[in-house]
Structure 1
């Protein structure tokens, strides 16, 4: 089975590679958020909506650098990952997870965000399996 790749903070890595520890606030406290998007016909569907919702969520969590998560960021990271995973011309499900970098018990040690982009072929709808 071919290797599937992810984008972790700008680095393309095999999906099975460990990227953070149990001490990370995202793992420990769910300190983050995600967006699931669809890439179809060379475009991320409803990109402006997803981008706005992500930025609002990041602001609510007091994460820094929300302005860096713009349309150029989304498109460039997604297209790079689709190429790396040999999914060009296919319908692709995208998951972007943004989470607080580092640890901290009651208060976070940092408000810097980290991110992970994942791409996959969408699973068929249950109603389509009948």
Structure 2
């Protein structure tokens, strides 16, 4: 049983105030559920501190500006970081690994056109058991039912994730561990819950933001790490589905799980060496 399961209740921060999870009530017509009018940020913490907090904060601010949300004056880095620390203390999650999710949605009012550009927000915390581990993704395929349409909006961490949701359902129904999403040009964009990297020899590629992939925080950290490794070269280039079966290695990254190896795509199986090396480097950088 995990530490979370031992707790009788959870506390969250709703608009900056502690509220028991089961008592956190939102209006039935809040714009987050009515229109997907929101953004969120998922962060990993260690010993009460947010990893790469500055990068997360500025992405959140950028996403809110792009969606024309009115950012509260108190929404400073110091305010949010302090609130996160308070929540981790309250939940007794400040001694080890944990996960934070900040969700921001526009206040109720209006139809498609909002009558109020100001926002509500929540912060929730859960425990994580270990540092980054290469938990193998045993088999993947392409998701072809719906596409990610490459634009600035597709790069945001928004609460409108229908393509990812439908891909997740398809994967579960067909016994895949993950699926790769395609853009309107049928090029590989990302996985359901992370950015995708492909290695052939010592050359590594990941789709550029312009192809429609999420502007992932771990994506940026992995690119930075690879640039420091003399045994690899990294480029941001379009990836065609044809390249998948020619690759030596495919791995998927996100801030919570780190780097995860794909072991099989159709009849092709893959190595895990680079993913293991990256996780070792990330763990040393963040936790040692």
Same fold flag (TM > 0.5): yes
1:105 aligned partner: 111
2:20 aligned partner: 14
Cα 1:99/1:122, change in 2 over 3 Å: same
Find out whether 1:60 has 2:56 as its counterpart: no
The answer as to whether partners of 1:58 and 1:66 remain within 8 angstroms in 2 is no
Map residues 39-118 of structure 1 onto 2, 5 A cutoff.
39-65=45-71, 68-118=74-124
Query: Deviation of residue 19 (structure 1)?
Result: 2.3
Which of residues 100, 122, 127 is equivalent to 2:135? 127
Cα 1:123/1:31, change in 2 over 3 Å: farther
Q: Which runs of 5+ in 2 are unaligned?
A: 1-6, 137-288
Per-residue CA deviation, residues 53-94 of structure 1 (Å, 9 max, x unaligned), is 000111011111255332202211101111111222121100
Partners of 1:103 and 1:26 lie apart in 2 by 11
Which of residues 3, 20, 35 is equivalent to 2:9? 3
The answer as to whether partners of 1:59 and 1:66 remain within 8 angstroms in 2 is no
Q: Structure with the greater relative contact order (CA < 8 A, sep ≥ 6): 1 or 2?
A: 1
The answer as to whether partners of 1:55 and 1:67 remain within 8 angstroms in 2 is no
Equivalent residue pairs, number: 128
TM-score, length-scaled by structure 2: 0.42
Which has the larger Rg? 2
The answer as to whether partners of 1:55 and 1:69 remain within 8 angstroms in 2 is no
2:240 aligned partner: none
The answer as to whether partners of 1:37 and 1:45 remain within 8 angstroms in 2 is yes
Q: Which runs of 5+ in 1 are unaligned?
A: none
RMSD: 1.9
Cα 1:35/1:10, change in 2 over 3 Å: same
Q: Secondary structure at the match of 1:34?
A: strand
Partners of 2:55 and 2:65 lie apart in 1 by 15
The answer as to whether partners of 2:97 and 2:129 remain within 8 angstroms in 1 is no
Partners of 2:70 and 2:102 lie apart in 1 by 17
Query: Deviation of residue 126 (structure 1)?
Result: 8.1
Query: Deviation of residue 127 (structure 1)?
Result: 2.0
The runs of at least 4 aligned residues of structure 1 exceeding 4 Å deviation read 123-126
Q: Is 10-19 or 111-120 further displaced after alignment?
A: 10-19
